[in-house]
């Protein structure tokens, strides 16, 4: 009787054999491996909702991710600042001044130090010197010294400190414009410089009795006499005081980047020439 050949073992079964010679995994092992595979697949399915391992993120996921990474704007941070932070800046005003610089409001660093235009990114002190308004470059700590040195004063349209001008309301600006006009009428400086178009817009709205700024004839530099700050006119039209010569200049804030430095300097230069002339007269 011919013996039939023994069955040939497949390589697959050999590969499944354990080192101890067991030919196949036990039922328990198969169940564990099956559970692990399903568990791993399930974990991928769950992660796909948030991380998108095998597919691009949905618009919703992309927006959520962007929202987490986006830095808050200066306006948003300003809105979170204290409504009335401590303000150590005081006006530099007295009768007989040649020029008064009118800013928007104290920034947080200015309010904390009591020195005007104190933030390092603000170009005020550079422009004051480069334009010729002051013969040398001064520092924020010398704010009040300018009155004795050059008869230059300083004030703001709004007193409340904020991180940026966006933190001020339209009502605050318009009320500040009224107060500012009265202040200039009291101290009667020879001239004022408006440090920023936004300040001038608030002044213009109040003087013209308008709801918004829409002056088609706006221009930098010296303004018409009827728009001069502090102007006092009686009911019968008699001009008690014509007001301070009013010069509108650019903002010096580091956040105001619409104009290049050279363009800002060109706008400030006529005021510097006028101040140089006034110094020669004394």
Cα(first)–Cα(last) distance of the chain, in Å? 139
SS3 call for 151: coil
Task: State the pLDDT confidence band at 49, using cuts at 50, 70 and 90.
Answer: very low
Average pLDDT, the chain: 82
Please report the pLDDT score of residue 282 as a whole number.
Answer: 77
In the block, tokens 């808050």 appear at: 72
CATH superfamily for 83-281 is: Uracil-DNA glycosylase-like domain (3.40.470.10)
pLDDT of residue 70: 64
Q: What is the pLDDT of residues 1-29, one digit of tens each?
A: 444 444 444 444 444 444 444 444 555 54
Taking the model in full, what pTM does it have?
Answer: 0.72
CA distance 155 to 104: 9
Q: What is the pLDDT of residue 43?
A: 40
Residue 64 C-alpha from the chain's centroid:
24
Average pLDDT over residues 149-176: 95
The two tokens of residue 149 are 């040195």
What digits encode the pLDDT tens for the residues 60-98?
554 555 555 666 555 555 555 556 679 999 999 999 999
| pLDDT tens digits, one per residue of 262-280 | 999 999 999 999 999 999 9
CB contact at 8 A, 90 and 114 = yes
Q: Which residues contact residue 112 at a Cβ distance below 8 angstroms, ignoring those fewer than 6 apart? A: 86, 88, 118
Among left, alpha and beta (phi > 0; psi -120 to 50; other), residue 126 is: alpha
Token pair listed for 254: 């580091």
Per-residue pLDDT, 256: 81
Residue 247: pLDDT over 70: yes
Residue 39 has pLDDT above 70, yes or no: no
Under 8 Å between Cβ of 140 and 125: yes
User: Helix 170-187 vs helix 197-208: angle between axes, to the nearest 10 degrees?
Assistant: 80
Q: Which of 18-27, 173-182, 231-240, 242-251 has the lowest mean pLDDT?
A: 18-27
What average pLDDT does the segment 196-224 reach? Answer: 96
* pLDDT at residue 239, as a whole number: 97
Quote the DSSP letter at residue 251: -
**pLDDT for 65-75, tens place per residue?**
555 566 655 55
Q: Enumerate the H helices of the chain as residue ranges.
A: 11-16, 27-48, 59-69, 74-79, 108-113, 124-130, 145-150, 170-187, 197-208, 261-281
15: how many CB neighbours lie within 10 A of its CB? 7
User: 125 near 137, Cβ under 8 Å?
Assistant: yes
User: Which residues are registered as beta bridge partners of 86?
Assistant: none
Give the Cα separation of 48 and 136 in Å (integer).
64
């Amino acid at each position: 009787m011919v013996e039939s050949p023994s069955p040939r073992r497949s390589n697959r079964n050999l590969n499944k054999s354990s080192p101890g010679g067991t030919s196949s995994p036990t039922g328990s092992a198969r169940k564990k491996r099956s559970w692990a595979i399903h568990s791993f697949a399930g974990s991928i399915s769950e992660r796909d909702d948030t991380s998108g391992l095998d597919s691009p993120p949905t618009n919703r996921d992309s927006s959520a991710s962007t929202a987490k990474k986006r830095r808050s704007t200066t306006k948003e941070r300003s809105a979170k600042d204290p409504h009335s932070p401590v303000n150590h800046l005081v006006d530099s005003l007295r009768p007989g001044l040649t020029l008064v610089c009118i800013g928007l409001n104290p920034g947080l660093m200015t309010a904390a130090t009591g020195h005007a235009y104190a933030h390092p990114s603000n170009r005020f002190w550079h422009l004051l010197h480069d334009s010729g308004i002051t013969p040398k470059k001064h520092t924020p700590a010398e704010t009040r010294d300018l009155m004795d040195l050059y008869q230059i004063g300083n004030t703001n349209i709004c007193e409340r400190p904020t991180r940026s001008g966006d933190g001020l309301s339209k009502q605050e600006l318009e009320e500040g414009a009224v107060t500012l006009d009265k202040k200039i009428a009291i101290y009667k400086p020879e001239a004022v410089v408006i440090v920023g178009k936004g300040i001038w817009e608030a002044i213009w709205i109040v003087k013209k009795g308008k709801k918004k700024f829409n002056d088609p004839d706006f221009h930098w530099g010296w303004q018409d006499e009827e728009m001069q700050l502090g102007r006092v006119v009686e009911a019968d039209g008699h001009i008690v005081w014509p007001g301070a010569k009013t010069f509108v200049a650019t903002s010096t804030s580091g956040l105001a980047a619409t104009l290049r430095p050279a363009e800002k300097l060109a706008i400030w230069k006529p005021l510097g020439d006028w101040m140089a002339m006034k110094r020669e007269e004394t």
